[in-house]
Structure formats: structure tokens, C-alpha cells
Amino acid sequence: MTGSSGSQVAVRVPLDPGEPVDPFTLAGEHGVIFHSGAHVRVGLGRSRTLALPRGLDGIDDLAAATGAVVTIPCDDRHGSRTGPVVAFGALPFDRPAAAHLVIPEIIYGRDGDDEWVTVVTSSPTRSPGLPPGGARRWLQQRAAAVPRSGGGGGGARVVPRSSDASFRDMVVAALDAIGRGELAKVVVARHMDVHLGRPVDRPRLLRRWHDLEPNATVFSVPTGRGHFLGASPELLVERCGSTVRSRPLAGTAERRGGAGPGLLPEALLDSPKDANEHRLVVTAIADSLRPLCDHLNVPEHPDLVVLRNIVHLGSALEGTLTPRSDGTVPDALALAGALHPTPAVGGVPPLAARALIDRLEPEPRGHYAGPVGYVDSRGDGRWMVGIRAMTVRGADARLSAGVGIVDGSVPDIELVETNLKLTAVLDALVPGLTPPTPAGSRASAT
């Protein structure tokens, strides 16, 4: 880790009345943003980096990272129930891969109508400066001063990282392993690159993505490979006090014909194949959470999660965490470490699935399907599954999409499902741009 909690202080104040702060403009080209409807977090600058050299496998490192956030003294003039200091991160899919969290210098938060800003400084002798009674104008001036890139999308070129035939072969190999009884489910992923004519305008892209997918969490986090950004519909875990929530998705169908309840693919609820895939995910998450909870509510049946071009089966799990001997409960980062990877992005059993993924997929997933989110100084936080996402560097973007393979999966249908998921990302990046779809194939709930 860089720095120490003893050398940092923070001040949090409420925002004075006035025009709403645009979080996408405020985050700009280099900031961090998490936008989940009424709940927004934006981070600017870097006050401290918290290293996770062993990734999610370093349990002590996870505890130390959260401890570093918790122990930063804060002059909280706001009195909110949320933690005033926040550490953000995009963690790789591979559990042992090195990662880090970042505590920004400036943190803007919004929970419904409640807005606040926290400033963190590494100098205990210098009070973090916020203009008295003018924090909103100060933020808006910062947002207005953020330089903008030229846009992006002119002459976009899509380059698949693997062929359709090689992906079908991966699905066939996965089905063979399932048929031999080696595992019950595995998620296989494919990747593609998009080369644009000019750098991506990230604030504009994220605002458009929010408009396209209002039921998703829009995020952008700087990483060593660029910016990992997306609109994830899948909640890995959320902690608020002693309450823990997870919202796994598994089972997919195409949403056809536009909006309206009569046009939803209700047959997805009656699909044995998708029901089995979903049940495997929910069971695994419930098995991981039950030892940590006094009680856990697990729905008997999934519901439909409706996105712009896709519908998923989803289940909302909620429980009350059991206090440990010292009276504390696991923090949000520790809970993410306990759950990742769920069978929604890995498989069942997890070790066999991971071994098969390593054997079948031609390259590492990077941040795709890894946890992306934050933990605050109360130990609360929200971690999404990093899907419907891309890594952007300059004028280049790397996109990924995965599908769950179980007994009954059909290679051609799984290929089309990856195209549906990639289309959801491509359409945010370059409206109207879609991957090639095999003739005569459509995604199905059967």
C-alpha cells in the first residue's frame, strides 16, 4: 500500500441547494463512476492506492485494504449513514491475479435526494479545502473544466479474437466434459476488438449507456490496461449494515420486438435448460452466504430481468449477517471475495470449471466478469459482476461475452447469445454497429 491511514484526513460536507451535478461530466475522462439509479459515486484524483498482491485469494490483504479505508479520520459535517471515504476497484476474473483499490482525493456521492462530497488529503497539516457554502458550484466548475476527447466511432472496425467455428468447438468440448460427468456447468467466453477512428468520449458513452440500460449499473474504473467500463445488470453482492444482498442472473433469451409486457419471452420461465442453469447459480451463492448469515431469503422461483435487447432469469437473495465474536460482520470486499466467481461466470464445481476455462479459452479474461465496485469506511459497499463491459484505451476497445453451458445447450444458439450480449455493448459504443450473426440462428429460451 502507498501511504498510511495515520497520514490522511478527510472532510465530508453536504451540498448546498442548486442545479444537479452531472456525474458523467464530473467523472470526465479519468475519474471513477458508479451509477446505480438513485445511488451514485464519483471519484476524482488518487489519494491512496491499496495493493492486493494476491488478488481475492489474499484474505489478509482484503482485510487490510478495508481497514485502511475505515481508519481514515473524517470530519463528517453531513451525518449520513453511508461511509464518507470510499475505495473503488475493478478486480480481475482470475482470483489470484494482483489487483488494487483506489481512494480518490475527491468523492462525490448521491443517494436519492441526498448529496455530499468528501475530500481526502495525505497531509494532516493541510485542511482539505472546500469553499464554505459553495461545494456544488465548486464541483460544477470542476466538471466544466474537464477536457473532452474528440468522440469516437468514425470508421469503426470490428476484429473478432476468434472465429465462430472455434467458439462452437469450445461449446462442444464443454458439452463433452459435462457428458463425461466432470462438471455440471461452465461459462465460456469470446472476445473481440473494436478499432475506432478517434479516442472514445467516455462521459458521452457512459451517459448514452445509462439511457440505453436504465436498469443496469453504469461504471468506469481506470486500470493498468485502460478504463474498464460497462453497464452491468448483475449484482454480485451488496452490504448495508448487517444486510447482505445478491442478484444473480443466469438463463437468457432475446427480447424481441421492442418494449411492452406482451412482447417479453415468458417462455424463458418455462425452459428446463435455463431453469437448471439458474438453479446451479442460486444454489452456489446461497451455500456461500448461509454460513455467514442468521437467516437468508432465497426465492423459490426466478423472475425476469428485462434489458434493452436481452431478458435474463434473476433471483434476489437477501439475508442478515451474523455478528462475529467482536461484534462486526464481514465487509463488502470480503463478501465479494467469498462469492467470486459465481457459477454465473465460472461453473459448477468451481475448480473443475476453472480448469476447463483455462484449457478452452485462448487468452485470459482480464477484468471481464471480475468484481467491480467499492467499499466504504463503514464496510458497506456494492460489487457488480463485470459483464456487458469493455476495456477502452484511446481509440481501441476490447469487448467480451460469455455463455453458460449445461446439459442441453446447443452450440449455434450459444453463439447467437454471445452476439446478443456483444451487440448490447457495441450499440453503446457505436450505435447501430453489430457483430455478424450466423444466418438462420436466433437466441432461444429452449
Domain borders along the chain are 5-145, 157-429
What is residue 385's predicted lDDT score, i.e. its pLDDT?
98
* pLDDT category of residue 377 using cuts at 50, 70 and 90: very high
C-alpha 197/C-alpha 394 separation (Å) is 10
Q: Is 234 a catalytic residue?
A: yes
Q: What is the pLDDT of residue 123?
A: 62
pLDDT, greater one: 58 or 225: 58
Q: Is 350's pLDDT higher than 90?
A: yes
Give the lowest-confidence range in 370-374, 387-391, 433-437: 433-437
pLDDT at position 265, please? 64
pLDDT at 441: 40
- The residue annotated as part of the active site, out of 185, 273, 277, 421, is 185
Cα–Cα distance list, 58 to 5, 239, 331 (Å): 20, 20, 15
Q: Which residue has the cell 465530508?
A: 12
Which is higher by pLDDT, 65 or 132? 65
Whether 155 shows a pLDDT value over 70: the answer reads yes
Mean pLDDT across 291-311: 94
pLDDT at 255: 82
What is d(CA 113, CA 221) in angstroms, rounded to the nearest whole number?
25
Tell me, yes or no, if 363 is annotated catalytic: no
Which pLDDT value is given to residue 221?
97
Among the listed ranges 151-160, 226-235, 333-342, 403-412, which one has the minimum average pLDDT value?
Answer: 151-160
- pLDDT attached to residue 219: 98
- Check pLDDT > 50 for residue 161: yes
Question: Do 93 and 341 meet the contact criterion of CB atoms below 8 Å apart?
Answer: yes
- Give the per-residue pLDDT at 86: 96
Q: Is the pLDDT of residue 395 over 50?
A: yes
Asked if pLDDT for residue 152 goes beyond 60, the answer is: no
Q: What is the CATH number of domain 157-429?
A: 3.60.120.10
- Among 105, 115, 213, 234, the active-site one is 234
Q: What is the mean pLDDT of residues 344-372?
A: 96
**CA 43 – CA 108 distance, rounded (Å):** 7
Question: What gap in Å lies between CA 52 and CA 95, rounded to an integer?
Answer: 11
3-state secondary structure the chain: CCCCHHHCEEEEEECCCCCCCCHHHHHCCCCEEEEECCEEEEEECCCEEEEECCHHHCHHHHHHHHHHHHCCCEEECCCCCCCCCEEEEECCCCCCCCEEEEECCEEEEEECCEEEEEEEECCCCCCCCCCCCCHHHHHHHHHHHCCCCCCCCCCCEEEECCCHHHHHHHHHHHHHHHHCCCCCEEEEEEEEEEECCCCCCHHHHHHHHHHHCCCCEEEEEEECCEEEEEEECCEEEEEECCEEEEECEEEEEECCCCCCHHHCCHHHHHCHHHHHHHHHHHHHHHHHHHHHEEEEECCCCCEEEECCCEEEEECCEEEEECCCCCCCCCCHHHHHHHHCCCCCCCEECHHHHHHHHHHHCCCCCCCCCCEEEEEECCCCEEEEECCCEEEEECCEEEEEEEEEECCCCCHHHHHHHHHHHHHHHHHHHCCCCCCCCCCCCCCCCC
CA distance 310 to 263: 12
pLDDT of 446 higher than 50: no
pLDDT above 50 for 326: yes
pLDDT of 259 higher than 50: no
Mean pLDDT of the region 98-119: 92
Distance, CA of 308 to CA of 431 (rounded, Å): 13
